[in-house]
């Protein structure tokens, strides 16, 4: 009998991932529990980590932290009306939630803080849904009127998974000045989504174009004479204007450095 040569190689061990192995139809965002709070969260932001909170009805608030780039991508892709599963490190079950209350730096526009509103998928919630105008109004195309959007967001009540990303308003039938579209005209499945505004609330309307009053010739000539007389006057110091702008920018930046709201 021929002896077998060479020992059988052991199968390589698979490294465990920090992300829980869960099955879900919702996008999954891993987060970690956070200890730093108050002024100390600045250290997290410098490291590319976003401070956040998980809260909800009958839910104990939990401070968490998440990769800034990943959180910004999720917010841009899914918005505030899509359910996402928050995977907290050390917890076996995901937390279904809606992203809410994003805070941004007014100067850099960088995301500073985010809330995750934990939901019960079997209980209805209220949310603000963006109202988006679609099409062109004939009255506007003919130059007879202007389109005025009265409502930019509409509060609705629905199950978390039934919340629409947006509510479209077709204005292609607004042919005359004075015509309007109200909440009752919106194409919404009211078996699932219930508007919280009154049915007669105006969403968009056509208003008449108002002609600008022409300046009298004498007034125009007076303005020209005033401008000519003022040519010899000393203009405001450029440095003063610049300094004022810098002070304003500094105040805005200082305000942006304020910390997240209390958990």
The string of pLDDT tens digits covering residues 80-92 is 999 999 999 999 9
In this structure, of 41-45, 204-208, 258-262, the range with the lowest mean pLDDT score is 258-262
**Is residue 25 very low, low, confident or very high in pLDDT (cuts 50, 70, 90)?**
confident
Mean pLDDT for all residues in the chain: 81
Mean pLDDT, residues 164-190: 96
Name the more confident of 257 and 132.
132
CA 32 – CA 48 distance, rounded (Å): 14
Burial of 59 (0-12, 13-18, 19+ CB in 10 A): middle
Mean pLDDT, residues 107-129: 96
Mean pLDDT, residues 101-111: 95
Domains and CATH numbers, the chain: 28-120 (2.40.240.10), 126-208 (2.170.120.20)
pLDDT at 24 over 50: yes
**Is residue 38 very low, low, confident or very high in pLDDT (cuts 50, 70, 90)?**
confident
What's residue 65's pLDDT?
96
**Which of 219, 217, 145, 134 shows the shortest CA–CA distance to 179?**
145
**Is residue 223 very low, low, confident or very high in pLDDT (cuts 50, 70, 90)?**
low
Name the more confident of 37 and 260.
37
Kindly provide the b/e burial profile for residues 176-192, where b requires at least 16 CB atoms within 10 angstroms of the residue's own CB.
eeebebbbeebebeeee
């Amino acid at each position: 009998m021929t002896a077998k040569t060479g020992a059988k190689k052991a199968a390589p061990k698979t490294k465990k991932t920090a992300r829980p192995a869960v099955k879900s139809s919702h996008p999954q965002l891993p987060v970690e529990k956070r200890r730093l709070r108050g002024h100390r969260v600045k250290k997290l932001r410098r490291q590319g980590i976003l401070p956040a909170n998980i809260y909800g009805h009958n839910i104990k608030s939990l401070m968490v932290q998440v990769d800034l780039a990943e959180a910004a991508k999720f917010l841009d892709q899914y918005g505030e009306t899509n359910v996402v599963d928050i995977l907290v490190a050390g917890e076996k079950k995901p937390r279904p939630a809606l992203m809410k209350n994003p805070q941004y730096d007014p100067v850099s526009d960088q995301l500073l803080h985010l809330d995750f509103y934990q939901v019960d998928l079997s209980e209805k919630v209220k949310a603000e849904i963006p109202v988006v105008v679609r099409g062109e109004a004939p009255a506007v195309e003919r130059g007879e009127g202007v389109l005025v959007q009265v409502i930019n967001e509409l509060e609705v009540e629905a199950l978390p998974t039934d919340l629409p990303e947006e509510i479209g308003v077709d204005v292609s039938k607004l042919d005359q000045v004075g015509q309007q579209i109200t909440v009752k005209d919106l194409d919404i499945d009211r078996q699932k989504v219930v508007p919280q505004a009154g049915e007669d609330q105006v969403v968009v309307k056509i208003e008449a174009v108002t002609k600008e009053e022409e300046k009298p010739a004498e007034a125009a000539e007076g303005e020209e004479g005033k401008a000519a007389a003022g040519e010899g006057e000393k203009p405001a110091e450029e440095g003063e204007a610049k300094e004022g702008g810098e002070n304003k920018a500094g105040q805005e930046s200082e305000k942006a450095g304020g910390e997240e709201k209390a958990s």
